Amino acid sequence: MLKYVGKRLIYMVGVFFVVSIIMFGLFNNVPGDRALNQIQAMKGKVSNEQFEVLYQQQREKLGLDDPIPVRYVKWMGNLLQGDLGYSTFYKKDVVEVIGEPLKNTIFINIFATILALGITIPLGIWCAVKKFSKFDNAVQVLTIVGYSVPVYIIALVFMYIFSVKLGIFPISGMNSPNFTGTGLAFFADRMYYLALPLIVMTVAALGSMTRYVRAAMIDALSMDYIRTARAKGLREKVVIYSHAWRNALLSVVTLIIGWFMSVFMGSIIIEQMFLLNGIGQMYYKGLMNQDYDLALAIQMLYCVITLISNLITDLSYGIVDPRVRVNK
């Protein structure tokens, strides 16, 4: 096991550096002049000579006069020391900028993931057990519709129904304006504002996961060992949850772990539509405002999370199925 993990860590380091080189090259070849954007507001307020001096100072500050390989080495050296760069849009260090949005994203996505898994796993199992029943057919139709409709369409429909027409939930934001409460009052106010985004995220995830669990369970229930278990007189619940689900879980575990790891990534679409202060919206703002240190730091965070989730997925196979060994 340790040997396998060691090999995978070396592989992860290699992939991380390859991705960092590619992403750094892409971000630094995007059309536009970052230095000019930073001092554009000074144009007309100072003389042309002073403006040119400010421009050259800004280019030197951002390191834009150095070749890209030199800039990459400097950036990677700072990154390995925990310095994620300076946000030119927020005028703060990137570490300070992404701290609160990352906490918000984790908070939102943990709730959405738990809700989605709590609904889809029992629903998928029940549909597999009651295969081709009226209930199963109805669920399949609904999941196909849910799987086919983009998340932003679901968000717009729910916003129109629950916010515009019924006025049950606020349409955007994370807390009431000028709210100063703490403790339970703060939590209740935040959950009221996050209720609609959480509902949208949960509904958007139901289609794919329910169908995935159903297919895995149908495949497991058709195996010979299930017929043997039933022939031995085991209770149906034991057959379904102890035998069939345990084996179906092997094909579902990748999706489940991917969901849990996604709590760090956020949803650019949902966070942007509901104006949530999350890591996805930070990434969008970084790209739109050519704040490449911020965008690049978030992109590398996504890379690290993906690599770790892949490792956890591979290791979990040995836990879920004893026949799988990951010691080579």
- Phi, then psi, of 249 in degrees rounded to 5: -60, -25
Instruction: Give the domain extent around 11.
Output: 2-94
* Residue 100 and residue 49 share a domain: no
H/E run at residue 87: strand 86-87
CB–CB of 284/265 below 8 Å? no
The amino acid occupying position 213 is V
Check residue 304 and give its pLDDT.
87
Which one of 73, 94, 115 terminates a domain? 94
Identify which of 276, 120, 281, 278 has the alpha carbon closest to the alpha carbon of residue 206: 120
Q: Is residue 240 part of a domain?
A: yes
* Residue 162 and residue 102 share a domain: yes
CA distances from 206 to 29, 66, 140, 259, 308 (A): 39, 49, 11, 12, 25
* Residue 32 and residue 131 share a domain: no
Residue 66 per-residue DSSP state: S
Separation of alpha carbons 316 and 328, rounded Å: 15
CB–CB of 249/322 below 8 Å? no
Separation of alpha carbons 271 and 259, rounded Å: 17
Q: Is residue 167 part of a domain?
A: yes
Check residue 266 and give its pLDDT.
59
CB–CB of 48/37 below 8 Å? no
Which one of 70, 94, 118 terminates a domain? 94
Q: What is the tally of structural domains in the chain?
A: 2
CB–CB of 101/277 below 8 Å? yes
Q: Is residue 327 part of a domain?
A: no
Q: For the chain, what's the residue count?
A: 328
CATH label of the domain that carries residue 115: 1.10.3720.10
Check residue 21 and give its pLDDT.
92
* Residue 60 and residue 196 share a domain: no
Check residue 270 and give its pLDDT.
86
CB–CB of 173/275 below 8 Å? yes
* Residue 110 and residue 39 share a domain: no
The one-digit pLDDT tens for each residue of the chain (328 residues) are: 678 788 888 889 999 999 999 998 888 777 777 777 777 777 777 777 877 888 788 777 777 777 888 888 888 888 888 888 888 788 888 888 888 888 888 888 888 888 888 888 888 888 888 888 888 889 888 888 877 888 888 889 999 999 998 889 998 888 888 777 778 888 888 888 888 988 888 888 888 788 888 888 888 888 888 888 888 888 888 888 888 887 787 777 777 777 766 666 657 888 888 888 888 888 888 888 888 888 888 888 888 888 888 888 777 766 666 665 555 5
* Residue 87 and residue 113 share a domain: no
Strand partners, 86: 93
Which one of 48, 76, 94 terminates a domain? 94
Q: Is residue 328 part of a domain?
A: no
Q: Is residue 180 part of a domain?
A: yes
Q: In angstroms, how far is the first alpha carbon of the chain from the final one?
A: 7
CA angle 254, 298, 95 (to 5 degrees): 125
* Residue 114 and residue 77 share a domain: no
CB–CB of 124/251 below 8 Å? no
Q: Is residue 118 part of a domain?
A: yes
CB–CB of 309/8 below 8 Å? no
* Residue 149 and residue 266 share a domain: yes
The amino acid occupying position 69 is P
Q: Is residue 325 part of a domain?
A: no
Separation of alpha carbons 14 and 279, rounded Å: 25
Query: What is the pTM (predicted TM-score) of this model?
Result: 0.77
* Residue 152 and residue 129 share a domain: yes
* Residue 109 and residue 192 share a domain: yes
Residue showing tokens 């090999």: 7
* Residue 163 and residue 62 share a domain: no
Check residue 202 and give its pLDDT.
84
Q: Is residue 139 part of a domain?
A: yes
CB–CB of 199/107 below 8 Å? no
Residues 6+ away with beta carbon under 8 Å from 308: 12, 261
Identify which of 152, 147, 153, 159 has the alpha carbon closest to the alpha carbon of residue 120: 147
H/E run at residue 212: helix 184-221
* Residue 84 and residue 100 share a domain: no
